[in-house]
Amino acid sequence: MSEKQKYDTNLAMGLGLIEETKVLLKTWSYPMGAADLYKEVLHSGVLSRISAYRLRNIVIRCFGNRYLVNAGKPARTLKKLLPSLTSPELVQLFFIFTCRANPILADFVRDVYWSSYESAARFITKDMAERFIRRAIDDNRTPSRWADGQVERVGRYLTGCCSDFGLLGRPTPAGRPLLPHRIEPKVIAYLAHDLHFMGVGDNALLAHEDWFLFGLEREDVLEEIKRLSLKGLLIIQAAGDVIRVSWKQQDMETLCDVLTQS
């Protein structure tokens, strides 16, 4: 498990929020902050079915934490891609940023979903989610010890969020069924460039933890990067364990232009 930050319960404010995120991206404009976006959405009534209290939590604690970090760069690129990407592509990008904002979800996917998938398990159960949380509590990953009721609720948030993002199916008496989860080619291009422009070196990029959200190990990522090279998005040179990438796009905005035209 990552030691970057403590786990929190922000998923209680909203799980995948796929459709809400699309609406908020359409409404948002740079350099609008979360508070101003909330006022704009409340005034426009585009999400009028949601109470003002819950809307504020969705905008401030979910959308803001996921997409308005780093001077709003995630929102800027996603807003640009919104009209041209398919629904599965958008959902996978939302998934990446939701995991980055919620380490408990990212670690649950890496530690529970993929280990279950690789062992040919058919379901993820309520008990599996709760065991993951209790281990995290014992490992001092939470700010304080969570009560049993909170453990149960956060377990539901984790499996529900995975269902929203297409990793798990609807609940059954046996648990939520595992669904295939293969990364889309345009999402590979986006993530590779995003990591590069975040300052991740070429070799470190291949082993970055974001890839394992899609079950990709270093050698898998290398093969995917080679495919991007064949499409002309970059040039890669590999010699043993060392790779060097020549990045043709100068920033994420330029990459988005390329992705919208392909």
Beta-carbon contacts of residue 197 (< 8 Å; ≥ 6 apart): 251, 252
For residue 242, list its beta bridge partners. 239
Q: What is the pTM of this model?
A: 0.96
CA distances from 125 to 132, 133, 159, 213, 234 (A): 11, 13, 9, 19, 42
The alpha carbon torsion through 60, 63, 68, 69 (nearest 10 deg) reads: 90
Phi, psi of 238 (to 5 degrees): -125, 130
What is the predicted pLDDT for the residue at 1? 40
Beta-carbon contacts of residue 189 (< 8 Å; ≥ 6 apart): 228, 233, 255, 259
The CA distance from 127 to 150, in Å, is 14
The CA distance from 75 to 69, in Å, is 9
What is the predicted pLDDT for the residue at 2? 43
Structure tokens at 23: 């609406």
Rounded average pLDDT per 10-residue block, the chain, 262 residues: 76 97 98 97 96 97 98 98 98 99 98 97 98 97 96 98 98 97 97 98 97 98 95 90 93 96 86
Other CB atoms within 10 Å distance of the CB of residue 251: 12
The CA distance from 116 to 178, in Å, is 8
What is the predicted pLDDT for the residue at 4? 62
Instruction: Give yes or no for a contact between 68 and 34, defined as CB atoms under 8 angstroms apart.
Output: yes
**242: three-class secondary structure by DSSP:** strand
Size (the chain), residues: 262
The CA distance from 207 to 216, in Å, is 9
The CA distance from 102 to 62, in Å, is 10
Pairing of strands 234-239, 242-247: antiparallel
